[in-house]
Structure 1
């Protein structure tokens, strides 16, 4: 998965220049640019944590996208060596996301976390912002403009008084498709319209769009959003979609032929957030 594309997407939406973010985390602009463009390896856990703090998103989200292990896990395995056996038992049973959520519910009930921060709160799910009429499957599109027309039409239908052409214009203000592609065959175009409720449309493509994506994979899934407010919730959702992409979201939804199948798959994938 291409962490750099996600970092660039979040940084730009947060209104931070490359120089601003680099200065805040104590690195050079050249280094951060190399990371965003996939030239350098993903940052260390410590540096990812600093980036997450400046973007105001949970560090675990960025670590998941980068396929990094949280330092809390490493420290716990060192402090309690027997915990490794439990992890192996979970792996041996091949528990699904829904089953792991049941395990977490048990832990929350029996051994609740004390003194957590807002960064420990569960990430809001994507599924509640969707509706069957905003899930469009196996669409044949000749180009990115066609995709935007489809998602804008579905989003406008959920926003009385908002014209689809206005949404297309807003979504098109992104530089190009590569600026909202996060890898794994997923793109996340988004637009800000003051005062409207947040809504999401999801589109799978019958044939992937072969464009300049960060990992070279054709775009097969588009998760488009309209938000009435900027800020933390919007950034967290973008990072969450990137994490789902890293977990194979496009592949999971590619076989879906009914919106209910998409919503069911999302429920399972989002059981642990």
Structure 2
């Protein structure tokens, strides 16, 4: 997974320059640029947490994109060694997503916690979708075709929205910073002041060969429109990147109906 692409996408979307972000977290702009372009190893957990704070997104999201164990989890295992045995038992039983969701529901009911900003729940993507905004196995010849399709679906959910203007906004933001986050996933997004958050999802019949940070062809597009609240928008983008890091495109390869896509997505998000 290409963490750097997600960091750059979030930074640019937040309107923070490379030099300013580097200054805020105490590194050189040259180093941060190399991280964003995948030329250096991902930052330490402490630096990832610092970046997350500057962007006002939960650090756990960036840890997941980096496929790293959160320092919170590592610290808990050190303080409560017996918890490792429980993790081992879950692995031995090879619990599937639906079964893990039941375990999560039990924990929420029996041992509720007051979530803080760092570990609180992230608003899921599934409620922003609807069957009519899920296109399965789209046949297309290029990226522009994909943008036209998602703009049409998103525009239909936003009365009074000009689809042509929406496509232009999607293209403009992609030009500022590529919306390809790796794992075969791209997250084109647009800001329309006053719009309610809405999303569209497209799986491709054949992988699309476009420029991606990890070299994987594009197989899945998750497009969003937001009304302009910066923090919520960034959290949503980071969340989709996290799903991509955990194999979202692969999980949706065999889906043939929109309802199947939504079911898989809801299962994945029930564990996040």
Q: What range is the shorter-chain TM-score in?
A: over 0.9
Q: How far does the alpha carbon of each residue in 1:148-186 deviate from its partner, in whole angstroms, 9 at most, with x for none?
A: 111011111111111111111111113449700000000
* Paired residue secondary structure (2:194): coil
Mean Cα deviation higher: 77-86 or 179-188: 77-86
Matches within 5 A, 1:232-251: 232-251=231-250
Q: Cα–Cα, structure 1 residues 16 and 177, in superposed 2: closer, same or farther, change >3 Å?
A: closer
Matches within 5 A, 1:121-140: 121-140=120-139
Residue matched to 2:267:
268
* Paired residue secondary structure (1:8): helix
Q: Cα–Cα, structure 1 residues 112 and 61, in superposed 2: closer, same or farther, change >3 Å?
A: same
Aligned residue-pair number: 272
Contact (CA 8 Å) 1:124, 1:237: kept in 2 or not? yes
Runs of 4+ in 1 over 4 A off after TM superposition: 175-178
Contact (CA 8 Å) 1:135, 1:203: kept in 2 or not? yes
Q: Which runs of 5+ in 1 are unaligned?
A: none
Q: Distance in 2 between matches of 1:80 and 1:243?
A: 27
Q: Cα–Cα, structure 1 residues 171 and 91, in superposed 2: closer, same or farther, change >3 Å?
A: same
TM-score normalised according to structure 1 size? 0.96
* Paired residue secondary structure (1:235): helix
Deviation for aligned residue 1:230: 2.8
Deviation for aligned residue 1:110: 2.6
Residue matched to 1:45:
45
Q: Distance in 2 between matches of 1:64 and 1:175?
A: 23
Q: Which runs of 5+ in 2 are unaligned?
A: none
Matches within 5 A, 1:1-273: 1-113=1-113, 116-176=115-175, 179-273=178-272
Contact (CA 8 Å) 2:139, 2:206: kept in 1 or not? yes
Mean Cα deviation higher: 148-157 or 79-88: 79-88
Q: Distance in 2 between matches of 1:103 and 1:265?
A: 18
Contact (CA 8 Å) 1:178, 1:211: kept in 2 or not? no
